[in-house]
């Protein structure tokens, strides 16, 4: 009897030892993978073009019951981007070493932001990872579509303005000096507008290098200031004050906020956490600051709608829908409708801007280029006053 019990204890201790050794091996394997965050070159292009397709495909594969590592390996082979292939490969290796998918993706914060990984973590906890991936894919596709619409609408006027500046520079460097030489030979008093144009041409020709350096310096300084919180706040405040384009960008920010906020609430992320993350998605420091202040007030027991009602950047439609959602307990559903409304509003505004851009650009070119030409030809009409006999 004693021998039997001793043998049983020995067998049990061996099983325990094997389990302990297996757990230790797993811990060593997990810690063997470097879990520090990495920088990702070209992350913005990946987020805009690659990430929505990747998320949709991963969600479909998980829905079909395939293992996570197998899904990631398959998507790694299909990706056309070398950088993104490397990212997916690192994520699959991290998951293979025993890390959760959300933790593995958090290694690349430039590609998978905090909102993405937070929603993913919630999906892992609730056992609805595939459904969460589908929701994320929808959010990313709508955000990418909205961004492409805004970029395509702004690209045309920016390109025309750049061409106008180039033409104006060429006129100042080559055409104006030729007219200046003719007028000097003729003598006489030139009109004030022509004098100013010739003076500007002389400054540009004789100090071209310094002018170029100055322009580059201004661009670099503005870029560096925009990377600071205070500088970005001032820049966004100025942008929101621009006629036509300011209200457009405000609607874009509201569409991003309502879409992200409703998605996170729908997936069980606490409201304070959801406010912080959706503020980061907006891309506007002025409107984000209002959300931060609202978060503090909500933590103290006030309602979100009552706080945002005091801020002029959040319109009555959003506030009223938010207040109704707070009363009925359907904030996520109502905000999803508001997000759809603002996306449609952005599309309508963009169509209106596109129809107005062409005549506005014609006027712009006429004022800039035409004004310079008129300034140079005014003395021709008064040629009899310039010629000295």
105 and 145 fall within a common domain: no
Model confidence pLDDT, tens digit, residues 358-370: 787 788 778 888 8
Tell whether 319 and 229 lie within a shared domain.
yes
**Residue 132 resides in a domain:** no
Q: What percent of the chain has pLDDT over 70?
A: 88
Confidence of residue 74 (pLDDT cuts 50, 70, 90): very high
Is 4 a member of any domain?
A: no
Assign 72 a pLDDT band (cuts: 50, 70, 90). very high
CA distance 202 to 200: 5
| pLDDT of 246 | 87
Q: What is the pLDDT of residue 385?
A: 56
Residue 227 pLDDT exceeds 90? no
Per-residue pLDDT at 55: 92
Higher pLDDT, 149 or 288: 288
What would the mean pLDDT of 300-325 be, rounded to a whole number?
A: 90
- Residue 125 maps to a domain: no
> Domain range for residue 262?
141-389
Same domain for 308 and 347: yes
Do residues 223 and 343 both lie within one domain? Answer: yes
For 76-120, what is each residue's pLDDT tens digit? 998 888 889 999 999 999 999 888 999 999 899 888 988 888 888
**What is the model's pLDDT at position 10?**
45
Tokens of 366: 């006429």
Task: Give the mean pLDDT of the chain.
Answer: 82
Contact, 322 vs 335, CB < 8 A? yes
Mean local confidence (pLDDT), 323-336: 89
**Is the same domain home to 62 and 199?**
no
Regarding whether 105 and 172 lie in a shared domain, the answer is: no
164 with 253, same domain? Answer: yes
Residue 112 DSSP class: S
pLDDT (tens digit per residue) in 3-39: 444 444 444 444 445 455 445 544 444 445 666 777 7
**Which token pair is 64?**
């079909």
Indicate if 160 and 216 belong to the same structural domain: yes
Could you give the dihedral angle defined by the CA atoms of residues 253, 291, 112 and 100, in that order, rounded to the nearest 10 degrees?
Answer: -150
117 assigned to some structural domain = no
The verdict on 280 and 221 lying in the same domain is yes
Whether residue 187 is predicted with pLDDT greater than 90 in this model: the reply is: no
pTM of the model: 0.71
Nearest CA among 230, 335, 343 for reference residue 286: 230
Of the candidate ranges 16-25, 171-180, 301-310, the one whose mean pLDDT is the lowest: 16-25
Residue 122 lies in a domain: no
- pLDDT of 254 > 50? The answer is yes
> Is residue 180 domain-shared with residue 256, that is, in the same domain?
yes
- Final residue belonging to a domain, choices 64, 96, 112: 112
Residues 70/88, Cβ–Cβ less than 8 Å: no
* Residue at a domain's end among 112, 132, 163: 112
What CATH number does the domain containing 341 carry? 1.20.81.30
Verify that 379 and 298 share a domain, yes or no. yes
Domain ends where: 92, 112, 132? 112
pLDDT of residue 11: 45
Same-domain pairing of 162 and 98: no
Take residue 157 and report the two structure tokens written for it: 């006027």
Q: At residue 158, does pLDDT exceed 90?
A: no
Per the structure block, which two tokens stand in for 133?
A: 């991936």
Per-position b or e across 270-293, b if 16+ CB within 10 A of its CB: eeeebbbbbbebbbbbbbbbbbee
Q: Which residue has tokens 């729908």?
A: 266
Residue 23 belongs to some domain of the structure: no
Question: Domain count of the chain?
Answer: 2
Average pLDDT over residues 141-163: 81
C-alpha torsion sign, points 82, 83, 89, 93: positive
Would residue 131 count as lying in a domain? no
Question: How far apart (Å, rounded) are the C-alpha atoms in residues 276 and 288?
Answer: 8
Does residue 128 form part of some domain?
A: no
Nearest one of 250, 246, 272 to 261, comparing CA atoms: 272
- Residue 169, pLDDT score: 86
Which pair of structure tokens corresponds to residue 155? 């690209």
Reported as a pLDDT band with limits 50, 70 and 90, residue 167 is: confident
């Amino acid at each position: 009897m004693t021998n039997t019990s001793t043998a049983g204890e020995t067998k049990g201790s061996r099983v325990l030892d094997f389990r302990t050794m297996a757990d230790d091996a797993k811990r060593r394997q997990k810690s063997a993978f470097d879990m520090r965050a990495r920088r990702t070159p070209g992350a913005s292009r990946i987020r805009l073009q690659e990430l929505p397709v990747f998320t949709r495909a991963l969600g479909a594969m998980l829905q079909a019951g395939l293992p996570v590592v197998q899904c990631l390996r398959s998507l790694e082979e299909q990706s056309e981007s070398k950088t993104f292939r490397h990212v997916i490969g690192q994520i699959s290796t991290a998951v293979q070493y025993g890390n959760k998918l959300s933790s593995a993706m958090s290694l690349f914060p430039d590609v998978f932001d905090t909102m993405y990984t937070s929603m993913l973590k919630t999906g892992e906890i609730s056992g609805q990872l595939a459904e969460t991936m589908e929701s994320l894919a929808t959010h990313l596709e709508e955000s990418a579509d909205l961004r492409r619409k805004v970029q395509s609408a702004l690209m045309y006027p920016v390109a025309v303005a750049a061409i106008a500046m180039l033409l104006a520079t060429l006129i100042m460097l080559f055409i104006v000096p030729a007219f200046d030489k003719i007028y000097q030979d003729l003598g006489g008093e030139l009109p004030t507008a022509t004098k100013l144009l010739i003076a500007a041409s002389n400054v540009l020709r004789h100090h071209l290098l310094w002018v170029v350096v100055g322009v580059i310096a201004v661009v670099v300084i503005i870029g560096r200031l925009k990377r600071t919180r205070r500088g970005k706040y001032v820049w966004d405040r100025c942008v929101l004050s621009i006629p036509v384009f300011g209200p457009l960008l405000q609607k874009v920010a509201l569409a991003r906020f309502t879409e992200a906020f409703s998605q996170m609430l729908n997936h069980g992320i606490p409201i304070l956490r959801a406010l912080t993350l959706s503020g980061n998605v907006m891309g506007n420091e002025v409107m984000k600051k209002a959300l931060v202040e609202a978060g503090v007030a909500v933590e103290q027991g006030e309602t979100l709608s009552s706080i945002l009602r005091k801020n002029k950047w959040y319109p009555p439609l959003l506030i009223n829908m938010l207040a109704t959602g707070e009363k009925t307990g359907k904030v996520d559903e109502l905000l999803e409708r508001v997000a759809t409304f603002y996306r449609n509003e952005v599309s309508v505004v963009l169509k209106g801007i596109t129809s107005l851009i062409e005549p506005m650009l014609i006027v712009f070119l006429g004022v800039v280029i035409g004004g310079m030409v008129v300034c140079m030809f005014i003395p021709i009409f008064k040629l009899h006053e310039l010629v000295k006999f």
